[in-house]
Every structure is written in structure tokens, then in C-alpha cells.
Structure 1
Amino acid sequence: MQQRVYAPLSALNAYNYCPHRVYLEFVCGQWKDNDHTIKGILNHERAHSGEKRYDGNRIQTTQVYIKSDRYQLVGKVDIVEEKEDEIYPVEYKKGKAGQWTNDHLQLCAQAICLEEQLELEIEKGYLWYFNSRSREEVYFDQELRDETIWTAKKVLNIMKNNLIPPKEYTSRCKGCSLQDICLPQEISKLNKDM
């Protein structure tokens, strides 16, 4: 019997950022910290405490482990908030607020997992950005849900079949912690010289 493979929720974020990163990180097990990843870890200390907090009329449960058998997703939510009759995920991010599709996909995947486990519908979630000290509301419309499920399938395909997505050198490579392992600029230059 073949073992089921589950895609980590963070792999959806990574795929949108760079599909090749998914291969390096989640198939090859490559990882290297840089200042961005270290700051992210430090910013998440409180969210990963595993405690339950009360913030006004909100109940916040930190570091909640979740999964979806239907879409083969697994991971954790930084904070699951309950307010009145609503339950929704809150994801912490190091950077500044903006329309970051990769963050929206990860948050929507969290909601999909929570919906399956709790048997309820979640219409929105929140992204908390440390650098801008702002909270962005994200609605899980059908377009975002479809893109999230499509991305999960792409990630699972890479992981199950050991597929190697092509490397493309872009401006995003400069901030990537795996740049010294991937060598995208060098590979790009070699390909042009051939």
C-alpha cells in the first residue's frame, strides 16, 4: 500500500514564491536560515507558545495543528481566533502588509483544513504583518479557494513524483534563504552561455 503524502501548508506559500524552492525544501530537505527567516522565527515566539489567551471579546488559541485528508494538507495555524459565533485563522508574517498572494494561499489553506476538521464554513481570516504592525482581513472567495486547491495539487505533484521545477532567476531570489544552495543566478548565466 502506498503511503499518503501530505503537503505542508507553508509549501503552498513557497510554491507561489518559487516552485523550485518547494523541491529543495520539501523533497530534498534543504534549509538555510538568513536574516529574514531568523526574524520570522523570533516574531512567531508568542504565536507558537501553545497557550490560550483572552483579548477583549476574542479567544485566541496559539499553535493549532491541523490537516485536511481531502486535500492532503497538514500544518499549523499561528492563532485560531474565536469571536462571538466566528472562528478563523490568523497568520503572522514578518514583512509589511500588501497584496501577497503567497500569504493569502497559506491562510486560505489553513481555513480549508479548519473547515474540514470543525465541519463549519470559514469566510475570512487575518494576516498580521510585524513590520507594518497591521492586520489584513482576507476573504476566502471561490477564486482564492480554487487557486489554493490548485496550488496544493501542484505542490503534491512535486513531492510525490520528485519533480524538479525549472530554476528562474528573479528579484525574489535575492531575499531567499536557499539562494546559496539553489544558485539561480549562476545557473541562469550558464544556461545563457550554452
Structure 2
Amino acid sequence: MNVMIRLVLVAAAMTAVLTLMVINQANARAGGTEIRLSMEPVDPRDLLLGHYVELVTPLQRLETAQLQGGSEHMFEQGDRIWVGLETGPDGSSRPASVHNSPPSGPHIEGRVRVAGHVSDEPGQWLTVHYNIERYFASPEAALELESYRDERRLRLIVSLSDSGSAVIRGLEIDGEDHIDRLF
């Protein structure tokens, strides 16, 4: 096989992989269960990654003793975790339970980043990562979104698959949805 045919085959394979990635992302946004998460103020900047808004939600810091099933499992750094969700009076989703396997009902899958335990208290303190912690935007938009977030006028719209994996679908600003479009 000559070099030109090999190059064409490699280019076609790379294009197919990238196309599948885009299709998977579009399907995750369109077909998942939508939840909304309130956010807490943070001040990020990253010279290598660009401008983004750091998104800290109530799902990231968990006290397992206050959650259903929290005393049944001990988690360590790197463990997969599934957090059962309930909707609060303001329409935001919040943690209701923790599990070491997917539960029934609405849930989100994450990885334990930090697991702590206070010896005289039941349960654990966990910091969990869900791959929804950063929202990239232009420098001007990132600064504007940070001010909305700090004033508690911004909520995160997330699409959840049946397995609990999460994809950012968009933002809610002052009660108005701003859905990101891939195409």
C-alpha cells in the first residue's frame, strides 16, 4: 500500500473519531434528563486554558452523614460515586443520597477528589468532580457571567444520561434559559 493511501485512511479514521465525539456530545445534550444547579462564587483564571467561569455547586462538597445512604459506604480518593438528586423549592437540584453504584431515580455520577473523615463524627466529607465545573467563554462574557454568579442570578443547566454522566447544556440567567448550541 502506498503512502498516499495510508495518509487518506489515517485522515478518514481521525475524522470519523472526531465526528463520533461531536455526535455523542449532541446526543447527551438533547436526550438527557435536565436538572438545574445553583452556584457559589469563585474567582478563576488560567493562562493555559483561557477564560472560564468556575462553577461550584452544592453537589461538589458533600457531608455524607446528612445524606441517605451516607453511613453505608466509605469512599476514597478516585472512587466513582453516584449522588441521588431531589429538587428543592427553588427548582434547583440538590444532593439527597450517596451510592457506590447507580441508584434508581435521578442521579449524577462523579469521582471523589478528596475524602475526609473526622474520627468522632459519623460519615465523611467529600469533594466530588463531575466534569461540569468549568464553563468556557470569551474574556468579556466570562467576567459578566462571574458577576451574575456572584449575585446568585445564574444557574447551571445540566443534561444527565440514564447512567448519570453529566453534560453542561447551558445557563439560566435571571430565570431565562441560554442553551448552548453545537451546530
CA radius of gyration, larger in? 2
TM-score when normalising by structure 1: 0.24
TM-score by length of 2: 0.25
